[in-house]
Amino acid sequence: MKPIRTRFAPSPTGFLHVGGIRTALFAWLVARQSGGQFVLRFEDTDKKREVEGARQHLIECLRTLGLMYDEGPDIGGPHAPYVQSERLESYKRWAQKLIDSGRAYADPYTPEEVQAFREQAQKDKKPFLYRNHRPETPPAWDGTRPLRFKSDPKAYERHDEVMGDLKTGPEVVDDFILIKSDGYPTYNFAHIIDDTEMEIDLIIRGQEFLASVPNYLNLYEALGLIPPKMATMPHVLGPDGNKKLSKRDGAKDVLDYVREGFLPETLLNFIASLGWNDATEQEVFSVQELVEKFSLSHVQKSGARFDDKRLLWMNGSHIRELELDDLYQRSAGYWGPEAAGASDDYKKQVLALIQERLKYLAEIPELTKFFFVDLPVNGSLISEHKQLKKVDQGELKNLLQQARDVLAESDFSVQDLTDRLNQLLETTGQKPAVLFSLVRIATTQAPASPGLAESLALLGKERSLGRIDQQLAAL
Ligand code: GLU
């Protein structure tokens, strides 16, 4: 495979959401897979929309997720600078070429005049085309007016790496602004110059640019350039699959997910799976597997659904794959205050017990609190329990007393506890859902816990019996 240079070219206009990360991820995957380079470029020519702190945020997102770029604003590279506002000389040079070849002209109209043309077209029920109003003798361009591209309308047949073969007619090609009156280029112009000078082989970007591609192709031709390959990503849709993903549905800052304890490898796996699969049933991929298996030809054309529940499930899967020491390191910062005095060894054992059911790291305090502190008896755990609520209180008390007597004889090894609890099942003739739930609630005061014998062994004899006494007193 020939090395492919790709780029991620965000505008620093806000936080990076899932759709943006997907573009970055796919570009990164293609570069890594082919032994090419992944370039980061800031497109900051719309100064009104720029948001303070957005650049730092974008860099932090990419680094946190492990999407390291080979060239970029903060690390430089052979095509520096990687910030559009620092490349104005370049755009001017290329604009001059277009002026010299008669393919660009100064736009003489005021915004009000252009608006009047637009309204007239609407009245005539015709699509508005700027080129129908091209001035016959445009003024010389002095930088105070917009510079417009003089298009050469024609039909195009082209191939998009995701959308397939696309055909458009000449009616979609129009004169567009290259350089605005504030001296900054438009995205439409600047990205073409940058992708050319940065030797980009493949552009991956969102669907919102698809309609403009015929204009871009026309400009590439006017400049005598061969366009890179293009891949257009479908929208990421909300959970119901209808509308575009909104903030409420999960279009939130990807760093928020990291803060909640979603693993970077889960987020990459999940985001890759928005519209891509490897044509097998496999759903959980390591980052290495994504690099090996990713292919643009398996990205679907229609919108991909963002499903929060699936993200949770997937994170649980990745958490289960982690070595305990690794999980323990990642859990730093997530333990509740009650765990503050506990030893590393004890916390690690607690983690080993909940690893199987842990869905995200911010859940750790809730799932582990009872391992560190005695919680007050919560009567509703019994009165609302499916099985226990059917059993008479006196009977429950009697059962728990028997359990206490049996446990008092145990050495509290997992094996011995298991044996004795099973024996008690037989002697009492009770169902596990009654007996074990009762002991579990008494010793944890939690609606759910890891394996009973394992939990008791870790809590230790004194603590477990003490908690049973507390529950007995309350029954
Ligand atoms: N600057 C554009 C944006 O943030 C990126 C478009 C592209 O990737 O070419 O939407």
Q: Which residues of 384-396 are buried (b: 16+ CB within 10 A; e: fewer)?
A: ebebbeeeeeeeb
Ligand 1 binding pocket includes 191 (Cβ within 6 Å): yes
> How high is the pLDDT of residue 461?
98
> How high is the pLDDT of residue 14?
87
Region 174-182: what's the mean pLDDT? 97
CATH topology of domain 254-368: Glutamyl-tRNA Synthetase; domain 2 (1.10.1160)
Task: Tell me where in the chain the CATH 3.40.50.620 domain(s) lie.
Answer: 87-233
Nearest CA to ligand 1 atom 2: 10
Task: Tell me where in the chain the CATH 1.10.10.350 domain(s) lie.
Answer: 374-474
Task: Tell me where in the chain the CATH 1.10.1160.10 domain(s) lie.
Answer: 254-368
Region 346-372: what's the mean pLDDT? 97
> Could you name the CATH architecture of 374-474?
Orthogonal Bundle (1.10)
| Atom of ligand 1 lying closest to residue 8 CA | 8
97 is catalytic: no
User: Of 325, 379, 318, whose CA–CA distance to 351 is shortest?
Assistant: 325
pLDDT in tens, 427-447: 999 999 999 999 999 999 998
pLDDT at 58 over 90: yes
From 7, 184, 191, give the residue whose CB has the most ligand 1 atoms within 8 Å, as the site to mutate: 191
pLDDT at 289 over 80: yes
- How many other β-carbons are positioned within 10 Å of the β-carbon of residue 411? 10
Q: Give the separation between CA 97 and CA 91, rounded to whole angstroms.
A: 10
Q: Give the separation between CA 97 and CA 219, rounded to whole angstroms.
A: 12
pLDDT in tens, 64-85: 999 999 999 999 999 999 999 9
> How high is the pLDDT of residue 250?
57
Q: Does domain 87-233 have CATH number 3.40.50.620?
A: yes
User: Of 213, 268, 320, whose CA–CA distance to 27 is shortest?
Assistant: 268
User: Of 40, 19, 18, whose CA–CA distance to 233 is shortest?
Assistant: 19
pTM for this entry: 0.92
Average pLDDT, the chain: 95
pLDDT in tens, 240-260: 777 777 666 656 789 999 999
- Among the listed residues 247, 301, 389, 431, the single catalytic one is 247
pLDDT in tens, 385-416: 999 999 999 999 999 999 999 999 999 999 99
Region 274-282: what's the mean pLDDT? 94
